[in-house]
Amino acid sequence: MPQDTANGSWLGHKGPGGFDLRTDVVTTPTPSMLAAVQSCTLLDDVFQESSTTNDLESHVAALAGKEAGLFVLSGTMGNQLALRALLTQPPHGVLCDKRSHIVNYEAGGVSSLTGAMVTSILPENGIHLTLEEIQREAVVSDDLHDCPTRVISLENTLNGMIMPLSEIKRIAAWAREHGIHMHCDGARLWEAVAAGAGSLAEFCAEFDTVSLCFSKDGQEGGGAVGGLRGGFVHPVHTNMCWLDLGAAGCSAERLEALGKAEGLRLMGNRLVISYQVALNEDEVLARLERVFRAALTEAGAEEAGEAGDGAVRGSMYRRSAKE
């Protein structure tokens, strides 16, 4: 990542996404990134004559410990190309988490582009799939009536939650034993690495294919609403907080309106901390605190003694994987 010479660091760039907590994809390129775009080769990628593209692909492949990388224009494209490359001949099936992007937000592409039957599982622990759950659902058979599982697709992080390397290793070892391929939707794998869950190469070693996104750039956000009543619907491992609005007695629409009044863009019950939000840490936390207090007061839910010391605690700022 090029340095932002004006600020000494690319992280010094405050972009328009600084008060937008809807998603981490609203970050905008820094001046140094735009300068890098202007100085790229503009040569042909099909003939592999663009050293800019070639260097990027080999750099990311080296980071991931893979023999090759392919730059594509979206995470969806990366997932679909990887799965299509692994799935060659029906009948074949894909196993994945029920909440995963490939099932919910890729227009049914896995089925239409590969002909695979997708079996999705809701993890009992609420966080990540386990080997035992996968073994229960996988079809390991060459009976002509069956649709054998050919790929296990794991998303990490999923809803901001980390799937531990130890569980991935168990699943991958079992998959290899049974000739099943492994794909990782690692759009936010950087976040697991930044949180210290393992290195990028360690995670990627367990998969045949991995897709990684440059557009998602989070910062640690855990504990951002600590001290106020309410809580989360998922544990906060990385840069996403899922507010329990039901427990707080506040609708998503009302929270969004309260956020808007404070100049914060919110969406539903999810708060996502991008690096540009983290650059405004103190101001964002102060505004969030006012939003939460207003929401809780309106709902009559803020009770004496439960408001803590009045601070919306927690630091948003941790070094990102891409720093």
Ligand X SMILES: Cc1ncc(COP(=O)(O)O)c(C=O)c1O
Of 106 and 289, nearer to ligand X (C-beta) is 106
Collapsing DSSP to helix, strand or coil, 298 comes out as helix
CB of 217 to ligand X, least distance (A): 12
Across 211-231, b (16+ Cβ under 10 Å) vs e yields bbbeebbbbbbbebbebbbbe
CB of 77 to ligand X, least distance (A): 7
Of 185 and 281, nearer to ligand X (C-beta) is 185
CB of 73 to ligand X, least distance (A): 8
Beta bridge partners, 240, equal 272
CB 249 within 8 A of CB 175: no
**Which of 95, 103, 172, 213 contacts ligand X by CB under 6 A?**
213
Indicate whether 76 belongs to the interface with ligand X (CB under 6 A).
yes
Indicate whether 74 belongs to the interface with ligand X (CB under 6 A).
yes
Indicate whether 187 belongs to the interface with ligand X (CB under 6 A).
yes
CB of 24 to ligand X, least distance (A): 9
User: What number of chain residues touch ligand X (CB under 6 A)?
Assistant: 12
Q: Which stretch binds ligand X (CB under 6 A): 72-80, 170-178, 258-266, 283-291?
A: 72-80
CB 70 within 8 A of CB 97: no
Q: What DSSP designation does 62 have? A: H
**Which of 22, 101, 229, 287 contacts ligand X by CB under 6 A?**
101
User: Is-cis flag, bond preceding 91, omega within 30?
Assistant: yes
DSSP run (H or E) holding 284 = helix 281-298
Of 190 and 292, nearer to ligand X (C-beta) is 190
Q: Of 138, 90, 98, which Cα lies nearest the Cα of 114?
A: 90
Indicate whether 104 belongs to the interface with ligand X (CB under 6 A).
no
Two tokens, residue 113: 């582009």
CB of 224 to ligand X, least distance (A): 20
Of 76 and 276, nearer to ligand X (C-beta) is 76
Q: How far is CA 275 from CA 25, 50, 269, 301, in A?
A: 10, 30, 20, 32
CB of 266 to ligand X, least distance (A): 17
Q: Hey, what amino acid is at 221?
A: G
**Which parts of this chain interact with ligand X (CB under 6 A)?**
25, 74-76, 79, 101, 155, 185, 187-188, 213, 215
